[in-house]
Structure 1
């Protein structure tokens, strides 16, 4: 992007000092991108630990990690005090969170983001637009959505938070089931109603994971009270509306 300098490096192997030292805030937002246990460990545990050590050395004021609401163990209602970890990916995420929170950087914030969607990231809308109206997998579970732009605003708010440490859930606060979302999309764009088949393939994320799809309601009032953040898009339907209009539907 214009006005930005880019540096490509291996977060675990390369000398991080090539990044320079004039940073007020650093945001760690790396994804494993699949690749199994080694990729999860590298991206979610070892990477944050190395970044934290570097940030301490160069005098960074604020260190923000984007984690996931997927770290929670149980279904039902959860908040930031609920138990986290318990399987491979979640354990690696929690290890990375702890590396950030235990560092000596003055401000350390972990943002546990909900299910991200936004421009270019709306597989269910794409599927239904193609006329593929069979929706697979579990559809009665709650999904805690978060628009991409609202996630970015949460990161910016975290970078200027009061000094200290915190763990914050970030969702739009209005969970929706996959069934309800599919029905709404079909009604909005027209055409046949969706058909639900639990034996049919689920979405791409579910297909990449062997984990049972969770059914939890994530409470995210803490970031609103603590940082004054609130989502621009109050639920996923509101967030998808401009995308649908942009597609001429």
Structure 2
């Protein structure tokens, strides 16, 4: 039996919007909190699902905007204003404290925190899972590791989702960079890229809200970590542009393959288990849209 929940998505950007639509389809009441909520619905979009928007800045101590009552679930998925330690701390540590200090948590049952695979660091191309020691290389991974540790001290049921690189209609930065010739790939050693389609990432969040006894943490990744040179060359070929030249691997990420076994064992099923299949569908959609213009 489906029980209606009041769910707050804090930091409701691309991923939050996708998640909200799935939750609204299930009949839940969904609130989307962000600094700049979308404008009023245009006449052409009156059929859009009714997210209740809350304009608030999580980084402000003592959020002054009235927050809804009877929130049973929080999905915490904000984006830092900058890629700096100050910005990451402001949103992922102080921001969560500000939210919980302002919200009436009487009804709060579960908090889902969207983290990143950046907490793992360098593992020389080996497989990692939820039990792998965390050795973040960059400031983003270090702050997220600290935020995760703080999260599990809270008096609520908490679930951490460590996402790999997102792609989808709303996340096309990699395709744009390859088209513009702005990417480099390591060719002297195998260095892995880990990806998850935005649609599957949102579905994984919703799935973890339904689990009666979730694990403390899940890796959210598709089934096919690929060598970066293989993935980027394949994308370049699919877009009919030159392959990227040789260069250094992305800094501060580390070389690893993310295992999604625990998530799959919990009953989750990916729509796009294969990265190339997901990107093929995305590129086909792009071409179809271009032909209609």
Question: Is 2:101 the partner of 1:101?
Answer: no
- 1:11 is matched with 58
Question: Is 2:269 the partner of 1:230?
Answer: yes
Question: Is 2:118 the partner of 1:79?
Answer: no
- 1:20 is matched with 68
Offset at 1:79?
A: 1.0
Q: Deviations over 1:3-32 (max 9, x none)?
A: 111112121424377221121211000121
Q: Deviations over 1:43-78 (max 9, x none)?
A: 222223444555673321111000001101331221
Q: Deviations over 1:67-96 (max 9, x none)?
A: 001101331221111122545322211222
Q: TM-score with structure 2 length normalisation?
A: 0.71
Cα distance in 2 between the residues matched to 1:127 and 1:179: 14
Q: TM-score with structure 1 length normalisation?
A: 0.83
Q: Are the structure 2 counterparts of residues 212 and 57 from structure 1 closer, same or farther at C-alpha, using a change threshold of 3 Å? A: closer
Cα distance in 1 between the residues matched to 2:163 and 2:179: 27
Offset at 1:147?
A: 0.6
Cα distance in 2 between the residues matched to 1:57 and 1:185: 46
Is the contact made by 1:53 and 1:103 (CA closer than 8 Å) also made in structure 2?
no
Give runs of ≥4 in structure 1 deviating > 6 Å: none
Is the contact made by 1:73 and 1:83 (CA closer than 8 Å) also made in structure 2?
no
Q: Are the structure 2 counterparts of residues 94 and 135 from structure 1 closer, same or farther at C-alpha, using a change threshold of 3 Å? A: closer
- Matches for 1:1-249 after TM superposition, within 5 Å: 2-12=49-59, 13-15=61-63, 18-52=66-100, 57-75=105-123, 76-86=126-136, 87-105=138-156, 107-130=157-180, 132=181, 135-138=183-186, 140-163=190-213, 166-192=216-242, 194-198=243-247, 206=250, 211-226=251-266, 228-248=267-287
Aligned length: 235
SS in 2 for 1:27: strand
List alignment gaps of at least 5 residues for structure 2: 1-47, 289-293
Cα distance in 2 between the residues matched to 1:33 and 1:229: 32
Q: Which has the higher contact order (CA 8 A, sep 6+)?
A: 1
Q: Deviations over 1:110-133 (max 9, x none)?
A: 000011111132233224445x3x
Offset at 1:137?
A: 4.8
